[in-house]
Amino acid sequence: MDYLQIEGGTQLHGSIRISGAKNSALPVIAAALLSDVPVEIENLPNVVDIRTLLKLLGILGARVEHADDTARIDASRIESTRAVYEIVAQMRASILVLGPLLSRFGECEVSLPGGCAIGQRPIDLHLKALEQMGAQIEIRSGYVHAIAPEEGLHGAKVIFDKISVGATENTLMAAALAHDRTEIINAAREPEIGQLAQMLTEGGARVEGIGTSRLIVHGTGGEPLRFPDPIRVIPDRIEAGTYLCAAAITHSKITLEDVEIEHIQSIVDKLEGMGCSFSLQGRALTIAAPSSRLKGVNIVTAEYPGFPTDMQAQFMAVATLAEDESLIEERLFENRFMHVSELNRLGADIWLKGNVAAVKPVERLYGADVMATDLRASSALVLAALAAEGTTRVRRIYHLDRGYENLEGKLEALGARIVRKHEA
């Protein structure tokens, strides 16, 4: 099993390019099922989750050509609408094939999803929305069995009880081929939603209200979508935020290329409050962290455009070495503090009470063997290791490989002493 060995205490310098956003690429790939002609997707990150979803589409019968950061998906001859457990259990985002399969082919079976164990993320909002559009749904033997009316899905007014990125994406894709108009109230506003909505509009559906919590989708009435131009995946705002935190915790100055500043504004604001400074030239963002200790920070996670839950663990790592106490409140997932015990193994002083973490400052961190528990927790341990004295070995890095493209290579390019090793 692979692990990362990191020698801490080195400042970073130089520049790296931010990869395409995994969380945007996944629904874009799923949306290719809505087309009966080939779809080209560019700027795909080279991560396990992308390869897993492309493999699933291949099992369904799509012809998939994948090289470097580009994929060509031809879903004109889908042979099966059954998304099997063996693939879906590896990655929660596989549930995103439910909406497009049902909308285009009229029926499907999709295994209940897996993914990171960061808390309960039921798919009831997905299913309720599809039922409002006319689908008959039954959960049997671990699969969602869905059947559309003979004439196809119809428009509906869908009001989400809570904001859900996945449910918004599935509903958007189902509505794209539906008859008449679908209105989605309390929709997620993440940039990844915006890219998907724009893609559907370019393909022949029409989505109004992009970037707001009220989306209106004018479906094609069953006509498959056609995408005249390649779809280019937006930059990964969480990857960008992670490297900004790497600069902060090591008191470094680095430049990130291909950044969408609007997507990471809440992250930049928090780091500025901790004492970092920024300069932007076009799509290149430079962060300069002070040589002195950073200030503490108070964070409450929220849906976009609030502070992202996917950056909570990384900021906790940075806060361990701040000059005063930080408070971090996690409002979206109940099990997203599993990295706390591992950070404490490195010498951090973090106390939990319910969904609030108090991060008390320490003079230094010390290298140790630690174990990743989920994707973003993994990156927090890497960040802490960059600043720790001595050697840290981060195990179970298959979590990292799900969402970060060549993390150790990019950090090494910035001067970090990091190497991937294999342990039999």
CA gap 297, 300 in Å, rounded: 10
Give me the amino acid identity at 3.
Y
CA gap 358, 79 in Å, rounded: 53
Print burial letters for 15-52: b (CB count within 10 Å at least 16), e (below 16): ebebbbbbbbbbbbbbbbbbbeeebebebbbebbbbbb
Q: Alpha-carbon Rg of the chain, whole angstroms?
A: 22
Name the nearest CA neighbour of 19 among 258, 254, 191: 258
User: Is the C-alpha dihedral spanning 235, 97, 210, 158 positive or negative?
Assistant: negative
Residue labelled with tokens 């879906």: 88
347: helix, strand or coil: coil
Structure tokens at 156: 């509906």
Please name the residues in contact with 269: beta carbons below 8 A apart, sequence gap of 6 or more. none
Structure tokens at 125: 């909002």
Beta-carbon count within 10 A of 402 CB: 21
Asked if the bond preceding 113 is cis, omega within 30° of 0, the reply is no
Q: With 0-12 CB in 10 A as exposed, 13-18 as middle and 19+ as buried, what is 281?
A: exposed
CA gap 424, 422 in Å, rounded: 6
Give me the amino acid identity at 375.
L
Q: How far is CA 302 from the centre of its chain?
A: 15
Name the nearest CA neighbour of 35 among 133, 103, 129: 103
116 catalytic residue (yes or no):
yes
Pairing state between β 136-140 and 143-147: antiparallel
**What dihedral do alpha carbons 392, 398, 402, 408 form, nearest 10°?**
40
150: helix, strand or coil: coil
CA gap 43, 274 in Å, rounded: 32
Query: Which of the following is catalytic: 108, 116, 245, 276?
Result: 116
Q: Which residues are catalytic?
A: 116
